[in-house]
């Protein structure tokens, strides 16, 4: 069983356009609404692969979000709150460029945070969970170190479960400050999030460009810093350039199979889902990375929040290779 926790879920509204005319009138070619949020997307990928999964999210019982989860066959455990699930809007152009407009989400009080925390911990304590994925932004009112607090408590409630966290901005920085006693087993920053954690001055775009040239030295060095701080496995997704994995036993890079990008929404979440499913299945690190990149690439080739099924991923053309010791260090 893979449990996911999405503290700030969303209804993902996607409008597909030929091209975006800023300041002008734009007409959508297609529109759709789906249950979203990073952990929800991971659970969707797991469910489509036949992997037992359960998604936990704060949500009112009559919120339209719950119906969208049922439509997507995502097993959902809700924690009732006041307010409604936010709507995130994506403008997706035919050329692959996406523009996202994300709402902040409902305001949580201290009682909400305590009730949600109790639900996550009690669910993990029930046993049977191989992994928990906590992912996404935090809603207003949530403490910035919430992920660190949950990681500590999950360790006690379910010691054998793999703990994975994927977040960004202030919650990511707050988590990084607590790695000494609350490090997850797996972190999945993208290039921009990895850059947030360093003071090197290199931007996320520059890290992606380095990877596209076959230069992984700086990326693997930053990932190794996180690993040395306590994270067992660091998966750095690099967009079209693939990904890098650094563990205690080595470092690997993977390049994505050829595919025409339609929408990047959900690609990183699919990559994390692929990695965790392979990890739970006991695959070797290089194969976990291969599954991750194949899933992320397949998601980017789909419209809207495209979460691929196993039949849609291209493992055969996802190349994985070890990095040298110098590139890791």
Percent of the chain residues topping a pLDDT of 90: 81
Question: Does 22 reside within a domain?
Answer: no
Give the CATH number for residue 189. Answer: 3.40.1190.20
Percent of the chain residues topping a pLDDT of 70: 96
Domain co-membership, 143 together with 217: no
Residue carrying structure tokens 């009559």:
62
Q: What is the pLDDT of residues 56-72, one digit of tens each?
A: 999 988 899 999 999 99
Domain co-membership, 6 together with 148: yes
Question: Does 177 reside within a domain?
Answer: no
Of 160, 194, 223, at which residue does a domain stop? 160
Domain co-membership, 206 together with 108: no
Look at residues 35, 21, 65 and name the one whose alpha carbon lies nearest to residue 266.
35
Domain co-membership, 223 together with 149: no
Q: How many domains does the chain have?
A: 2
Lowest mean pLDDT among 21-30, 77-86, 133-142, 297-306: 297-306
12 has catalytic annotation? no
Domain co-membership, 231 together with 152: no
Mean pLDDT of 254-268: 77
Predicted TM-score of the model (pTM):
0.90
Question: Does 176 reside within a domain?
Answer: no
Domain co-membership, 132 together with 207: no
pLDDT score recorded for residue 25:
94
Domain co-membership, 203 together with 73: no
Q: Which of 185, 269, 314, 329 is catalytic?
A: 269
Q: Residue 325 pLDDT more than 60?
A: no
Confidence of residue 304 (pLDDT cuts 50, 70, 90): low
Question: Does 86 reside within a domain?
Answer: yes
Spell out the SS3 assignment of the chain: CEEEECCCCEEEEEEEECCCCCCCCCCCCEEEEEEECHHHHHHHHHHHCCCCEEEEEECCCCCHHHHHHHHCCCCEEEECCCCCCEEEEEEEECCCCEEEEECCCCCCCHHHHHHHHHHHHHHHHCCCCCEEEEECCCCCCCCCCHHHHHHHHHHHHCCCCEEEEECCHHHHHHHHCCHHHHCCCEECCEHHHHHHCCCCCCCHHHHHHHHHCCCCHHHHHHHHHHHHCCCCEEEEECHHHCEEEEECCEEEEEECCCCCCCCCCCHHHHHHHHHHHHHHCCCCHHHHHHHHHHHHHHHHCCCCCCCCCHHHCCCCCCEEEECCHHHHC
Q: What is the pLDDT of residues 155-204, one digit of tens each?
A: 999 999 999 999 999 999 999 999 999 999 999 999 999 999 988 889 99
Domain co-membership, 127 together with 1: yes
What range does the domain containing 229 cover?
A: 185-328
Confidence of residue 85 (pLDDT cuts 50, 70, 90): very high
């Amino acid at each position: 069983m893979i449990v996911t926790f999405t503290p700030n879920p969303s209804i993902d509204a996607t409008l597909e356009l030929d091209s975006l005319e800023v300041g002008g009138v734009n007409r959508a070619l297609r529109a759709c609404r789906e249950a979203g949020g990073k952990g929800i997307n991971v659970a969707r990928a797991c469910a489509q692969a036949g992997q037992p999964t359960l998604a936990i999210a704060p949500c009112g019982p009559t919120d339209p979000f719950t119906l969208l989860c049922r439509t997507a066959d995502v097993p959902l455990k809700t924690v009732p709150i006041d307010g409604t699930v936010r709507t995130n809007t994506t403008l997706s152009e035919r050329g692959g460029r996406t523009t996202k407009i994300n709402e902040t989400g409902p305001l949580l009080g201290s009682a909400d945070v305590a009730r949600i925390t109790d639900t996550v911990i009690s669910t993990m304590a029930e046993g049977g969970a191989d992994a928990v994925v906590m992912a996404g932004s935090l809603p207003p009112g949530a403490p910035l170190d919430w992920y660190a607090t949950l990681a500590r408590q999950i360790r006690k409630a379910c010691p054998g479960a793999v703990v994975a966290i994927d977040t960004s901005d202030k919650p990511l920085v707050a988590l990084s400050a607590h790695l000494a006693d609350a490090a997850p087993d797996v972190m999945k920053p993208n290039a921009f999030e990895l850059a947030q954690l360093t003071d090197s001055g290199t931007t996320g775009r520059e890290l992606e460009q380095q990877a596209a040239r076959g230069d992984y030295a700086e990326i693997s060095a930053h990932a190794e810093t996180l690993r040395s701080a306590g994270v067992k496995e660091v998966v750095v997704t690099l967009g079209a350039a693939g990904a890098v994995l650094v563990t205690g036993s080595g470092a690997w890079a993977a390049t994505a199979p050829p595919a025409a990008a339609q929408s990047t929404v959900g690609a990183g979440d699919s990559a994390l889902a692929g990695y965790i499913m392979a990890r739970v299945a006991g695959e070797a690190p290089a194969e976990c990375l291969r599954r991750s990149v194949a899933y992320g690439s397949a998601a980017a080739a789909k419209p809207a929040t495209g979460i691929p099924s196993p039949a849609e991923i291209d493992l055969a053309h996802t190349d994985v290779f070890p990095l040298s010791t110098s590139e890791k260090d």
